[in-house]
Structure 1
Amino acid sequence: MTPTLIFVPGLGSSGPQHWQTLWQGKFGGVRVEQDDWNAPTPESWAARLHEVIEATLGDLLLVAHSAGVLTVAAYAQRYASSPRVSGALLVAPPDVERADMPQEVYPLRAVPLAALPFPALVVASENDPYATFERAAELAEAWEAELVTVGEAGHINVESGHGEWEEGEILLSEVLHAWTPPDIVRF
């Protein structure tokens, strides 16, 4: 049995042509819906992710993009990770500490830098307008996550030409292939 995918979008959510939305339609899963997609706070966004995790049955794999990646890090810092969270695919983490970032992301500036309590793969672009590859590598190292480059892929969103994002599906497949179900306890 494969884990249920929980999609964690970033600012503005992920529109109908974004790979997260297309993947959810293709693979199923649950989408985290925030009260205000343009006013993220680590507390409220992590709390909503926690609610979704608690309400979803089975083993879980988090699939996050952009500010959604920071939501996963905030969740891991604020809540005892559910043993059902088997791992995370963290795509295009933004560098919200940069001075040129939109004001809406300022509340996210205290990026948690502790190791994540579950395996994670950080997927980063070498020409992301919201983070250098070096910064993505620093975050991956702090989170004790694996890092993979997808070359020059922009922010890995619709604007950078990533709708279906077949390369991402391959990475998701690799994460799912590496996933090990918890031991079955027999009575």
Structure 2
Amino acid sequence: MKTSDCDILIVPGHTNSGVDHWQSRWERQLSTAWRVEQENWDNPNKDAWVARIVEDVKRAGKPVVLVGHSLGVLAIVHAAPLLLKDKVQGAFLVSMPDVERPDFIPAIDRAFAPIPRDPLPFPSVLVASRTDPHCDYAKAEDVAYSWGAAIVDAGDAGHLNTDSGHGPWPEGLMRFAGFLKRLG
């Protein structure tokens, strides 16, 4: 699948992705990419976030590929059973936070717990770092297997965001291109 064959829905996490974040860069670079806008980025409401993803998938004119980061990953997974069958072709998921962890901060993100464990109804990949402060690699790997997602070991990469040095993330874009190619 080429980027021109699909609508790429960018789903940021808590507080949105800043201008230098790889998601924002991809949104600017990929002509069919657009951001799923949330009413409140600072106080995430699971039901509202899920509803917005469902709405945006419905209004997409082409098959959809979702690109989620952090809390956006969990919003996508919560939305998955509600999405139009066969409309979503795949999901590229990066840096899932472990909102089930008792010491997880911010506490407002705990509304996204428990993390769904049902298989996703579309092909997916979860990119996880061995040094993500928001999720242990072993937990990410376990959850990916329950979703039927391929797991990608990003090594020592932190939370794969601007703070960890991943504003431009060329390796991620290459991995995403490979994922699209496998989708057909």
TM range (shorter): over 0.9
Q: Which residue is equivalent to 1:9?
A: 12
Is 1:163 the counterpart of 2:177 in the alignment?
no
CA positional deviation for 1:41: 2.7
Q: Does 1:135 align with 2:142?
A: no
Q: Take 2:44 and 2:85, find their aligned partners in 1: how far apart are those partners?
A: 23
Aligned to 2:74: 70
SS of residue in 2 equivalent to 1:122 = strand
Aligned to 1:38: 42
**Pairwise CA distance, 1:82:** 3.5
What's 2:118 paired with? 114
Deviation at 1:138, TM superposition (A): 1.1
Alpha-carbon distance, 1:2 to partner: 2.5
**8 Å contact 2:158–2:164 — kept in the other structure?**
yes
SS class of match (2:5): coil
User: Tell me, what secondary structure is at the counterpart of 1:96?
Assistant: coil
Could you tell me whether the CA contact under 8 Å between 1:76 and 1:116 is conserved in 2? yes
* 1:1-52: CA deviation from partner (whole Å, max 9, x where unpaired): 5222100000000010000000010013111011111222321111000011
Q: Secondary structure at the residue paired with 2:160? A: coil
- Distance in 2 between the 1:171 and 1:2 partners? 18
Corresponding residue for residue 98 of structure 1: 101
Mean Cα deviation higher: 108-117 or 123-132: 108-117
Question: Which of 36, 58, 62 is equivalent to 1:58?
Answer: 62
2:52 counterpart letter in structure 1: R
How many aligned positions are there?
A: 179
CA contact (8 A) 1:2 1:176 kept: no
Return 5+ residue gaps in structure 1 as ranges.
Answer: 181-187
Q: Deviations over 1:102-139 (max 9, x none)?
A: 11212111211100000000000000000000010011
CA distance in 1, matches of 2:84, 2:170: 30
Is the 8 Å Cα contact of residues 44 and 109 (structure 2) preserved in structure 1? yes
> In the alignment, residue 17 of structure 1 is paired with which amino acid?
D
Question: C-alpha deviations, 1:52-97, integer Å up to 9, x for none?
Answer: 11111111100000000001100013x1444121001000001001
CA contact (8 A) 2:118 2:147 kept: yes
Residue 183 (structure 1) aligns with: none
Match of 2:177 among 159, 169, 173: 173
Q: Which secondary structure state, in structure 2, belongs to the residue aligned with residue 40 of structure 1? A: coil
Unmatched 5+ stretches in structure 2:
none
Give me the whole-angstrom Cα distance separating, in 2, the residues matched to 1:67 and 1:76. Answer: 14
Q: Distance in 1 between the 2:48 and 2:127 partners?
A: 25
